[in-house]
């Protein structure tokens, strides 16, 4: 290893490579309960582990998972995480429920800089709006597929960027992957 490269493999002074994975909860049921307390539907219980396997296939070693406190997001995460080779530290975050784009950007800005790969399990329209807003550039056809298909339940987008979490803003990242259960 050259003296110009730190032990982490990043040259001193260069932006740290980070990834944000935005996972929308699986399909929810509509029983007579508050929106926050809606559980997964049968299809959601089938799709969540599939999303987890696809996340595992992506090979992203998540450092942290932020999960909405809503029942459907917690159930999605419980089923998806079983498919990952490593369970990241998980924080259940009330502010993810019904979060606006501005709320989500502010929340990302609070992420500790020792986190390189972050998974956010949340809701629409926030997950779709955040993926779209962060994507200043795109690899392949991910953005056109996301705009065409919307952001269905169990879908996820992967956005990479360099720098500090405090620098997350519109157009800062590259949309590198977009997946739906229909893919």
Domain assignment present for 12: no
Q: What is the pLDDT of residues 123-163, one digit of tens each?
A: 999 999 999 999 998 888 998 899 888 999 999 999 999 99
> What percentage of the chain reaches a pLDDT higher than 70?
92
Q: What is the pLDDT at residue 106?
A: 97
- Strand 135-138: give its sheet, edge to edge: 89-93, 64-68, 117-122, 17-24, 156-162, 173-179, 135-138
Q: What is the pLDDT of residues 163-175, one digit of tens each?
A: 999 999 999 999 9
CA 115 – CA 163 distance, rounded (Å): 11
> Containing domain of residue 93, as a range?
18-179
Please give the positions annotated as active site.
25, 98
Q: pTM of the full predicted structure?
A: 0.91
> What percentage of the chain reaches a pLDDT higher than 90?
85
Comparing CA positions, the residue from 75, 68, 74 lying closest to residue 99 is 68
Domain assignment present for 77: yes
Domain assignment present for 5: no
Annotated binding-site residue? 72: yes
Quick check: 25 and 121 in contact, CB under 8 A? Answer: yes
Instruction: Identify which has the larger pLDDT, 6 or 20.
Output: 20
Quick check: 146 and 89 in contact, CB under 8 A? Answer: no
Domain assignment present for 4: no
The domain that holds 84 is classified in CATH as 3.40.50.1240
CA 52 – CA 54 distance, rounded (Å): 5
Q: How many domains does the chain have?
A: 1
From residue 33, how far is each of 19, 36, 39, 68, 71 by CA, in Å? 35, 8, 9, 17, 11
Domain assignment present for 105: yes
């Amino acid at each position: 290893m050259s003296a110009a490269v730190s032990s982490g493999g990043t040259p001193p002074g260069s932006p740290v490579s980070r990834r944000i994975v935005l996972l929308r909860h699986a399909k929810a049921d509509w029983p007579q309960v508050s929106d926050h307390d809606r559980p997964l539907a049968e299809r959601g219980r089938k799709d969540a582990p599939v999303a987890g396997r696809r996340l595992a296939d992506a090979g992203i070693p998540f450092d942290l998972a932020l999960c909405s406190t809503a029942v459907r997001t917690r159930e999605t995460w419980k089923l998806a995480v079983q498919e990952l080779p490593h369970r990241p530290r998980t924080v259940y975050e009330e502010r993810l429920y019904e979060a606006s784009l501005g709320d989500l950007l502010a929340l990302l800005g609070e992420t500790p800089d020792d986190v390189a790969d972050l998974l956010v399990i949340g809701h629409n329209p926030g997950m779709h709006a955040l993926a779209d807003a962060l994507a200043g550039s795109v690899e392949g056809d991910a953005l056109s597929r996301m705009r065409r298909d919307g952001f269905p339940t169990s879908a996820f987008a992967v956005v990479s960027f360099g720098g500090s979490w405090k620098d997350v803003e519109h157009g800062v990242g590259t949309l590198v992957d977009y997946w739906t259960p229909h893919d």
